[in-house]
Structure 1
Amino acid sequence: MLLRPYRTEDCPALTKLFYQTVHTVNAKDYTPPQLDAWADGHPDLAAWDRSLSAHLSLVAVCDGVIAGFADMAPDGYLDRLYVHRDFQRQGIATALCDALEQAVPGPYETHASITARPFFEQRGYRVVRQQQVLRKGIMLTNYVMRK
């Protein structure tokens, strides 16, 4: 596995990975309408590129295939962490988080999905509060977590 910095030309592949991951990996914890509200398949690529370019954004590549990505703001907010459905439980999320946490001083905060909460708890993050987030008229549960 290679971790490398995000490049603008990665954006279409990352948004596709995001959509596929949400609709498969997170499907056990969220309803189909919630998944569609979270990831509708019509990303604003310019907005994604601006956000990823403004953060420390890393891409995990395995055998030439993008297997995951993550980004952290300079203030320690872990915004996105997604690993392709075919690369789950292979240490990719851990490697991405380790690299981001080594590069950006803490404390750290993330808004973790129901699915991701156990991963972050194993990393020493603690739930500050559960929250309901409105996306396209649909409520989604996630957790504000800090380390």
Structure 2
Amino acid sequence: MLLSGKKKEALRLRPYREEDAETLAQLFYDTVHTVNAADYTKEQLDVWAPKERDLHAWNQSFLKHRTLVAERDGRIAGFGDMDETGYLDRLYVHKEFQRQGIAAAICDALEGESEAEEFETHASITARPFFEARGYEMIRAQKVERQGILLTNYVMRKRRQ
């Protein structure tokens, strides 16, 4: 049996473009509904990442923040965005590109480009270990309500090194 010897392309980070909005919305939906499914109920996943997103609102939010898109093998593999205060709003990696260092690369770039002295995020149950490994400390657990459904996440902070 002959196996393909195709080597993975290097990861490329680039700035967000408006035409990315729809692809990022689908990546967000797919990632939440697969990667986070072990830690949240279907009902919680549905209110966190509904099938339909307001692409105009997402686009405006991405444009207000420093938003990076990760590409590998000609595909969008992940994205993340941070505002000027150092708040990491979104960080999602495509379900087929998990555990390849993509989230870390996006965080490294966003944190490195930020002028903030402290970074904060609201991490999911699933993402909490990732952020702890990056030096973020849990400040508190919280329950966020979406359409009457409660979701647990964690306010986490890290001081610039």
Measure, in 2, the Cα distance between the counterparts of 1:135 and 1:126: 25
**Pairing 1:40–2:50 present:** yes
**Pairing 1:146–2:138 present:** no
C-alpha displacement of 1:137: 1.1
**Pairing 1:112–2:133 present:** no
C-alpha displacement of 1:136: 1.3
Alignment size in residue pairs? 147
C-alpha displacement of 1:63: 1.4
Which structure's CA Rg is the greater one? 2
Instruction: Give the one of 114, 126, 141 matched to 1:130.
Output: 141
Partner of 2:5: none
Partner of 2:71: 61
* Per-residue Cα deviation, 1:60-112 (whole angstroms, up to 9, x for no partner): 00011000000000000000000000000000000000000000023000000
Name the aligned partner's letter for residue 137 of structure 1: G
| Higher helix residue share | 1
* TM-score, with structure 1 as normaliser: 0.99
C-alpha displacement of 1:140: 0.1
Instruction: Give the one of 74, 94, 97 matched to 1:84.
Output: 94
Unaligned 5+ residue runs, structure 2?
A: 1-10
Q: Secondary structure at the match of 2:37?
A: helix
Q: Which runs of 4+ in 1 moved over 2 A?
A: none
Identity, % of aligned positions = 65
Measure, in 2, the Cα distance between the counterparts of 1:19 and 1:137: 20
Partner of 2:6: none
**Root-mean-square deviation (Å):** 0.4
* TM-score, with structure 2 as normaliser: 0.91
Measure, in 2, the Cα distance between the counterparts of 1:22 and 1:10: 18
